[in-house]
């Protein structure tokens, strides 16, 4: 085996174990659980929407708003993790860069809160 | 690290955020608070631009030089004019929401970043920060179908252009090994490094930025978006973003890609000729004055691109002077267009201007000055812009380009002067409503600048000269 591929061996083990666990769970539920299927139960679950329906259906614009607000804080966390891990090496400048970023997000948060974007009704 | 070099941008961004919170917390008059706050911030930042030093900062992502200063001051002036033009119109159209001036302010922050970009990454962030607020502004009259359409159209096409730009940047990075302008320039100075992939990357970057300056063949969005967007937004889109995108285009092409001039000169020439021709010919049949201004701006960007095609310091000087004259005459024309109201309703037909010379002589005088200036008739500002551009083209031996430029400005003069004929020689239509003071002031200030530019060109020409020298060395 080429030496650079050897570094990926743990990944191979990881994938094998993941496959085994997934197989065990599906097989276990097939063999051990009671099966009482009916149409509604075996249809695909699509985030609360009908799985087979006209895609051009209207739905509430507020879903978009919630999704966008979610993305803001989702991104924040995506930035915060590597920042927290490397905080020892990036020093004060790195620390205050993130604080400035969080400050900008907070301004956006105050704005959306006062605008009532967080109220569903 | 010299972070203070970006102080103007930082101050402006912070002012924008403070105004955003103040506006959303204010009980009354948030709109006027945001307007005056933004104008004050522009003034303060304009002074700051002159006091901060010169140099590179942020690991060579950011540069301040005479060129970026010149463009930034012009962008701030254009932004201030944009807010001034919006103040009364938003009241009349019931769009008096305080986000309006603040979106302009955040867009201006992006433009200032753009012209100070010293790396392809900061370039891209600047372009996006400029564009996103303008997408929202274009759809600001959200109950109006045309405005919503304009916003969506601009957003979809703008995202496509951003994609092209990013694709070009990634190719340049892949072949040159860096995104910093200075090191890209060093890498490209060796002809051995010149690969087809790199040239394709440069062409994609050129295409992405040509979209932002609405040069042919990337102009398709311009007439629809100009017509559909609320008129003050059209005025804003026609001035500040054009200055920023054109300055950036010149910096990128003459800076990091300067050694490739043999590859892109012909392309820029073709784009310039096509823009001038389309601007001159397509505007003739227009009946809506905002559409006319869209084609006019396409043509004007074509003229400015001649200066880029020249590839010399004189050419850059010409572009900067052209942009100054263009901002003032364009903002002034829109001040008059925004004042076109009958019985409280905005009208946009060119025919509505008939007989304005008799019903409102002052307004007609300003519009006549702007139209003569746009047509490039001496002694108005537009003539001097074209003069410096054509002189640079001739000095670089681009005779054909200069001749085509003169010919298309003669064709373009037809529709500009037709408006003057309409105003002074045609049967008078019903008079317009009185102009609000903000519009009268904007029209008078830009009109005086456009009309009297020939009396004081020296400081502006000298500043443009210094800017060009800072860029071309």
- Kindly report the nearest CA distance between residue A52 and chain B, in angstroms: 28
**Cα–Cα nearest to B114, from B230, B307, B271, B243:** B243
Q: How confident is the model at residue B192 (pLDDT cuts 50, 70, 90)?
A: confident
CA-nearest residue to A109 within chain B is: B21
**Cα–Cα nearest to B130, from B203, B236, B225:** B236
Average pLDDT over residues B282-300: 94
Q: What are phi and psi for residue A35, nearest 5 degrees?
A: -110, 115
Q: For residue B213, how many other CB atoms are within 10 A of its CB? A: 27
- Cα–Cα distance for residue pair B433/B340, rounded to 1 Å: 7
User: Which residues of chain B are within 8 Å of residue A115 when distances are taken between CB atoms?
Assistant: 24
- Cα–Cα distance for residue pair B429/B351, rounded to 1 Å: 9
Cβ–Cβ below 8 Å for A110 and B21: yes
Record the tokens describing residue B449, joined without a space.
């600048």
User: Which residues of chain B are within 8 Å of residue A112 when distances are taken between CB atoms?
Assistant: none
User: Which residues of chain A are within 8 Å of residue B17 when distances are taken between CB atoms?
Assistant: 103-104, 107
DSSP string for residues in B191-252: GGG--HHHHHHHHHHHHHHHHHTT-TTS-THHHHHHHHS-HHHHHHHHHHHHHHHHHHHHHH
The C-alpha angle B347, B348, B354, rounded to 5 degrees, equals 85
Cβ–Cβ below 8 Å for A110 and B1: no
DSSP string for residues in chain A: --HHHHTTHHHHHHHHHHHHHHHHHHHHHHHHS-----HHHHSPPBTTB-SSS-TT----THHHHHHHHHHHHHHHHHHHHHHHHTHHHHHHHHHHHHHHHHHHHHHHHHHHHHTTTT---
B469 Cα distance to chain centroid: 22
Residue B55, SS3? strand
Cβ–Cβ below 8 Å for B21 and A115: no
pLDDT at A73: 83
In a mutagenesis test of the A interface, which of B13, B17, B106 is the best target, namely the one with the most A β-carbons within 10 Å? B17
Q: Is cis: bond before B263, omega within 30 of 0?
A: no
Report the phi/psi class of residue B247: left, alpha or beta, with left for phi > 0 and alpha for psi in -120 to 50: alpha
Cβ–Cβ below 8 Å for B24 and A104: no
- Kindly report the nearest CA distance between residue B30 and chain A, in angstroms: 13
- Kindly report the nearest CA distance between residue A111 and chain B, in angstroms: 6
pLDDT at A23 over 90: yes
- Kindly report the nearest CA distance between residue B24 and chain A, in angstroms: 6
Query: Chain A: which residues have CB within 8 Å of chain B?
Result: 93, 103-104, 107, 110-111, 114-115
What tens digit of pLDDT does each residue of B353-392 get? 999 999 999 999 999 999 999 999 989 999 999 999 999 9
% of chain B beyond a pLDDT of 70: 100
Cβ–Cβ below 8 Å for A114 and B20: no
pLDDT at A59: 74
pLDDT at B172 over 70: yes
User: Which residues of chain A are within 8 Å of residue B105 when distances are taken between CB atoms?
Assistant: none
Record the tokens describing residue B178, joined without a space.
């860096």
What tens digit of pLDDT does each residue of B110-153 get? 999 999 999 999 999 999 999 999 999 999 998 999 999 999 99
pLDDT at B422 over 80: yes
What tens digit of pLDDT does each residue of B230-254 get? 999 999 999 999 999 999 999 999 9
- Cα–Cα distance for residue pair A33/A25, rounded to 1 Å: 11
CA-nearest residue to B26 within chain A is: A114
In a mutagenesis test of the A interface, which of B24, B97, B98, B136 is the best target, namely the one with the most A β-carbons within 10 Å? B24
How many A/B residue pairs have CB atoms within 8 Å?
14
User: Which residues of chain A are within 8 Å of residue B20 when distances are taken between CB atoms?
Assistant: 107, 111
User: Which residues of chain A are within 8 Å of residue B24 when distances are taken between CB atoms?
Assistant: 110-111, 114-115
Contact between residue B37 and residue B441 where contact means Cβ atoms under 8 Å apart: no
**Cα–Cα nearest to B250, from B221, B233, B272:** B272
Buried b (16+ CB within 10 A) or exposed e, B350-369: bebbbbbbebbeebbbbbbb
Contact between residue B333 and residue B439 where contact means Cβ atoms under 8 Å apart: no
Contact between residue B295 and residue B214 where contact means Cβ atoms under 8 Å apart: no
What tens digit of pLDDT does each residue of B258-270 get? 999 988 999 999 9
Residue B428, SS3? coil
Contact between residue B324 and residue B74 where contact means Cβ atoms under 8 Å apart: yes
Of B1, B17, B24, Cβ closest to residue A115: B24
CB contact residues (below 8 A), chain B span 7-26, against chain A? 17, 20-21, 24-25
**Cα–Cα nearest to B329, from B436, B156, B452, B415:** B452
- Kindly report the nearest CA distance between residue B107 and chain A, in angstroms: 16
Of A93, A104, A114, Cβ closest to residue B17: A104
- Tally of CA atoms within 13 A in the half-sphere of B230 that contains its CB: 28
Question: Domain limits of chain A?
Answer: 56-121
Contact between residue B392 and residue B306 where contact means Cβ atoms under 8 Å apart: yes
pLDDT at A68 over 90: no
- Cα–Cα distance for residue pair B307/B405, rounded to 1 Å: 11
- Cα–Cα distance for residue pair B471/B459, rounded to 1 Å: 18
pLDDT at B375: 94
pLDDT at A1 over 60: no
Of B1, B17, B24, Cβ closest to residue A114: B24
In a mutagenesis test of the A interface, which of B6, B9, B21, B30 is the best target, namely the one with the most A β-carbons within 10 Å? B21
Record the tokens describing residue B386, joined without a space.
């074209």
pLDDT at B50 over 70: yes
User: Which residues of chain B are within 8 Å of residue A110 when distances are taken between CB atoms?
Assistant: 21, 24
- Tally of CA atoms within 13 A in the half-sphere of B416 that contains its CB: 29
| B61 touches A at CB < 8 Å | no
Cβ–Cβ below 8 Å for A111 and B21: yes
Residue with tokens 């009980």: B27
> At a CB cut-off of 8 Å and minimum separation 6, what does B182 contact?
B60, B118, B256
Q: For residue B259, how many other CB atoms are within 10 A of its CB? A: 17
């Amino acid at each position: 085996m080429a030496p650079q591929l050897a570094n990926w061996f743990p990944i191979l083990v990881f994938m094998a174990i993941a496959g085994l666990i997934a197989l065990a769970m599906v097989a276990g539920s097939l063999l051990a659980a009671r099966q009482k299927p009916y149409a509604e139960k075996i249809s695909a679950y699509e985030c609360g929407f009908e799985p087979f329906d006209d895609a051009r259906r209207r739905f509430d614009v507020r879903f978009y708003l919630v999704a966008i607000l979610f993305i803001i804080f989702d991104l924040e966390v995506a930035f915060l993790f590597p920042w927290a891990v490397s905080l020892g090496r990036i020093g004060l400048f790195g620390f205050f860069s993130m604080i400035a970023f969080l400050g900008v997000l907070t301004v956006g948060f105050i704005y959306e809160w006062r605008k009532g974007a967080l109220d569903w009704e | 690290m010299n972070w203070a070099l970006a102080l103007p941008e930082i101050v402006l961004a912070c002012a924008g955020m403070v105004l955003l919170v103040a506006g959303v917390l204010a009980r009354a008059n948030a709109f006027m608070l945001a307007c005056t706050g933004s104008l004050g911030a522009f003034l303060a930042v304009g002074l700051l631009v002159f006091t901060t030093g010169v140099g590179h900062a942020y690991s060579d992502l950011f540069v301040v030089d005479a060129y970026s200063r010149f463009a930034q001051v012009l962008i701030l002036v254009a932004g201030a004019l944009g807010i001034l033009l919006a103040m009364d119109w938003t009241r009349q159209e019931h769009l008096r929401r305080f986000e309006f001036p603040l979106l302009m302010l955040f867009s201006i922050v992006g433009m200032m970043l753009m012209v100070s970009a010293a790396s392809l990454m900061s370039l891209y962030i600047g372009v996006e920060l400029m564009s996103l607020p303008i997408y929202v502004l274009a759809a600001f009259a959200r109950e109006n179908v045309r405005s919503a359409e304009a916003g969506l159209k601009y957003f979809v096409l703008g995202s496509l252009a951003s994609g092209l730009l990013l694709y070009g940047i990634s190719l340049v990075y892949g072949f040159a090994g860096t995104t910093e302008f200075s090191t890209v320039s060093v890498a490209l100075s060796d002809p051995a490094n010149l690969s087809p992939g790199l040239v394709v990357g440069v062409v994609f970057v050129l295409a992405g930025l040509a979209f932002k300056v609405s040069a042919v063949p990337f102009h398709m969005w311009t007439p629809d978006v100009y017509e559909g967007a609320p008129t003050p937004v059209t005025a804003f889109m026609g001035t500040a973003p054009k200055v920023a995108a054109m300055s950036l285009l010149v910096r990128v092409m003459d800076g990091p890609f300067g050694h490739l001039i043999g590859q892109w000169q012909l392309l820029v020439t073709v784009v310039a000729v096509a823009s001038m021709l389309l601007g001159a010919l397509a505007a003739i049949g227009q009946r809506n004055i905002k559409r006319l201004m869209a084609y006019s701006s396409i043509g004007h960007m074509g003229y400015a691109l001649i200066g880029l095609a020249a590839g010399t310091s004189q050419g850059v000087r010409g572009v900067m002077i052209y942009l100054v004259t263009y901002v003032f005459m364009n903002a002034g024309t829109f001040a008059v267009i925004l004042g076109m109201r009958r019985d409280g309703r905005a009208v946009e037909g060119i025919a509505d201007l008939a007989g304005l010379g008799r019903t409102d002589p002052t307004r007609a005088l300003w519009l006549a000055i702007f139209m003569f200036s746009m047509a490039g008739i001496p002694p108005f500002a537009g003539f001097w812009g074209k003069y410096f551009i054509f002189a640079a083209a001739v000095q670089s031996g681009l005779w054909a380009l200069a001749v085509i430029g003169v010919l298309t400005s003669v064709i373009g003069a037809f529709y500009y002067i037709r408006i003057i004929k309409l105003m002074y020689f045609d049967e008078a239509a019903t008079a317009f409503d009185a102009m609000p003071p903000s519009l009268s002031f904007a029209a008078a200030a830009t009109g005086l600048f456009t009309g009297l530019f020939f009396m004081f060109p020296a400081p502006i020409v000298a500043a443009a000269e210094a800017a060009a020298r800072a860029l071309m060395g």
